[in-house]
Structure 1
């Protein structure tokens, strides 16, 4: 079985984001690596551990259920989204019914491990990230909330600025519910956690596991940055990669380091082993993402299979790992509309094809299952 193409069931419309009572780490502990101890093994003790932290002032529990508008700013980029318990209890029977669209396959074993971990923790420790093109009325409504004083605001240990509004008014929650109901959301980050949510719901129907923690970001309002994830390919050579690219009709150009890096864009890939530099222009990338072309067209043409693929979120990291025995392929940043069109037509991208950034710090909003 090709585990990279296994996709969990799709959640059906209407998309519903339900209020919950959040647990939050104290501001001084949000983003602190030492705070990970609260969520560490043994997982069955996490609920008790968090209760102790609340008693000691190292964490807090909100006074009542709410939807949360969470805004965070990192590296000059501000992202804002609604956080709630995503209803996972209905399955789509057709493409038109799908509310949440994963864009990558998952490894079932990893999803199973995460499901077991959350079950023992009795906690959703972090939201999955969903992106959509929200209705203008919803953007206006969120803008009104943002103009009010936030319930929490602080700078965390990673220097992310956090602002959070608790939305409890029943009429306002109902308006948000109506405006979200028809949304189609791309799953930006958290594919394995989403699959774990599905597994937990199917095993525990009619319980708080019918929902999972999610943050919905309007890509037309405060967009996440969509970046590429580059590769180094162990067990092959730059010569074999060039021969395979030529075999599928790609245009190859030998360049200097500076010229190659300067040419990296939506139509070109860069190939290097740290000594030689080349650009590759595949055919017809208008209908296929560059990362899909790499995995579906180029790698199968190699005379020997790649023994190891390493993923790198920056060009610098990929180049630092590039060698004669493990050349680097630098990929262009994908286009959000291209990814969404591909996914909504029934396609998938390879594993670790995209990097949506920035992500919120750990510990800002967590969902204890005991409180729904």
Structure 2
């Protein structure tokens, strides 16, 4: 298979379950520290030993008993609260109605395999994947009750994020959470390749005589998009080897609206059915003629890009307008994209469609190192 090929990761079957686990947590001085990522770098087999050394130096704390964790973090004025646990990935959905976790982007199999190998060597899930769902009223009540307690941990990390964490171990509360999650469907907001890596690790351990394995679970954070929503922003593009004239020709071939305007009017026209493009000198607006329940990014990649008479030789992705505009020139056009709504992304995922690569940017994400899951400790818990 071509290494650039995108495929749909398998679907996990319901009920949606988050299992308690005993978390590792870096100290506040390490969370959000740019050097922390290097602690999870090659050689991966040394990462567990490195964390053990950090633990003896007081740089890592380890919970003594499994829990579900309510993690609230604030970044750039936005507060997000999510439930962190070990997601059950042990069952595959045979029917659409059985799906509990919905991806909305394809994955590169080679990248997922590499991540699975890395987690296997580290014996860690170093960070939770980010899931969004619409929780029940009862679940919101339960989580609000937990959040009214004094947090078990409260700190501001080196990157400026503020964190509050509650560990929930009450059997009655955990049973209520399990019951309220059972019928939920969660959309992957961030971490498609890590999710696919969880499934690969789980498949490698299927049928082991020792019974259930730590790799039947993968670390996840579940955010109620109705309660403390993540912000969904666009990811802009630059197309190298393509000119604004090429974009005009493609639009005319497809019978789409194309008009050149000044920068202010072009940016103001940006909407769910229109995109704005520039070569750094000229600006244009292109109407997309989107179908019902179709995202602008789908219309761009499925119809406009194939109709371009030249290029693109390469596509680069940008999370900010300034980054995209800095790359615009006569032979490289910047295309400013509207952000899809979360409801639209969910409808697309439920319809078993995938958005093009780098279609969504859910923000803010929690800093690395707040909650880590050790596969080695999980194995000891089950022995």
TM bucket (normalised to shorter chain) is over 0.9
* TM-score when normalising by structure 1: 0.98
Aligned equivalent of 1:101: 102
Q: Does 1:164 align with 2:161?
A: no
For residues 295-344 of structure 1, the C-alpha deviation after alignment (integer angstroms, 9 at most, x for no partner) is: 10001111233111000001111111111111011000111111111110
2:328 maps to 322
Structure 1 residue 58 displacement after superposition: 1.0
Q: Structure 1 residue 233 and structure 2 residue 239: aligned?
A: yes
Q: Could you say which residue in structure 2 is the equivalent of 1:75?
A: 76
Give the alignment of 1:349-360 within 5 angstroms.
Answer: 349-360=355-366
| Cα distance, 1:73 vs structure 2 | 0.4
User: Secondary structure in 1 aligned to 2:50?
Assistant: helix
SS at match of 1:30: coil
Q: Report the counterpart of residue 49 of structure 1 in structure 2.
A: 50
Contact 1:14–1:182 (8 Å) recurs in 2: yes
Partner of 1:132: 133
Report if aligned partners of 1:4, 1:351 keep a CA contact under 8 Å in 2: no
The total of aligned residue pairs comes to 372
Give distance in 1, aligned partners of 2:38 and 2:99. Answer: 37
Kept in 1: contact 2:290–2:296 (CA 8 A): no
Partners of 2:258 and 2:194 in 1: how far apart?
A: 40
Deviation at 1:105, TM superposition (A): 0.4
The answer to whether the aligner puts 1:31 opposite 2:32 as a matched pair is yes
Say yes or no: does 1:148 pair with 2:149: yes
Shift of 1:285: 4.6
- TM-score in terms of structure 2 length: 0.95
Contact 1:267 1:285 (C-alpha < 8 Å) held by counterparts = no
Shift of residue 4 of structure 1? 4.9
Higher mean C-alpha displacement, 233-242 vs 221-230: 233-242
Match of 1:253 among 251, 256, 259: 259
2:229 is matched with: 223
- CA–CA separation in structure 2 for the residues paired with 1:190 and 1:8: 12
**CA distance in structure 2 between the partners assigned to 1:265 and 1:360 by the alignment:** 29
CA contact (8 A) 2:13 2:98 kept: yes
Q: How far is the alpha carbon of 1:352 from its aligned partner?
A: 0.6
Contact 1:231 1:329 in 2 (8 A): yes
1:37 Cα deviation from its structure 2 partner: 2.8
In structure 2, distance between residues paired with 1:261 and 1:285: 22
Counterpart CA distance in 2 for 1:37 and 1:266 is: 39
SS in structure 2 of the partner of residue 110 of structure 1: helix
Match of 2:381 in 1: none
Question: How many angstroms does 1:286 deviate by?
Answer: 3.6
In 2, the alpha carbon distance for the partners of 1:218 and 1:313 equals 24
Find 2:315's aligned residue among 285, 309, 314. 309
Please list, as runs of the form range in 1=range in 2, the aligned pairs for 1:160-199 lying within 5 A after superposition. Answer: 160-199=161-200
Q: CA RMSD in A?
A: 1.1
Worse-matched range after superposition: 6-15 or 259-268: 259-268
* Alignment partners' CA distance in 2, 1:287 and 1:210: 34
With over 3 angstroms needed to count, the CA separation of the structure-2 counterparts of 1:5 and 1:40, relative to structure 1, is: closer
